[in-house]
Amino acid sequence: MRTSTTTTLGVTTILLVSLFSGTGIFAYFSDTATSTGNTFTAGTLEIELPGGHSLPFIAINIVPGYVEEQVQPVKNVGTIQA
């Protein structure tokens, strides 16, 4: 008789924990909120090199730690600011 009571109590506990967990998860994922005054806009960001090609880059005697810098002018031809 003791084994039957223990088993019933264990199964009941598992079912109650599952039920409360399920309702908590359902409440979390079905929550809604409203917000006013927000606007969303879409556009394109296109960055191009003037003239369509890059400047030549020539490096001679490259060794580990060698650093070379070169400035390339770019422009945004898209519809939003960059």
What pLDDT, in 10s, does the model give residues 52-74? 666 777 888 889 998 888 787 88
List the chain residues with pLDDT less than 50. none
| pTM of the full structure | 0.34
Cα separation of the two ends of the chain: 76
Looking at residue 1, its pLDDT comes to: 58
Nearest one of 3, 5, 24 to 13, comparing CA atoms: 5
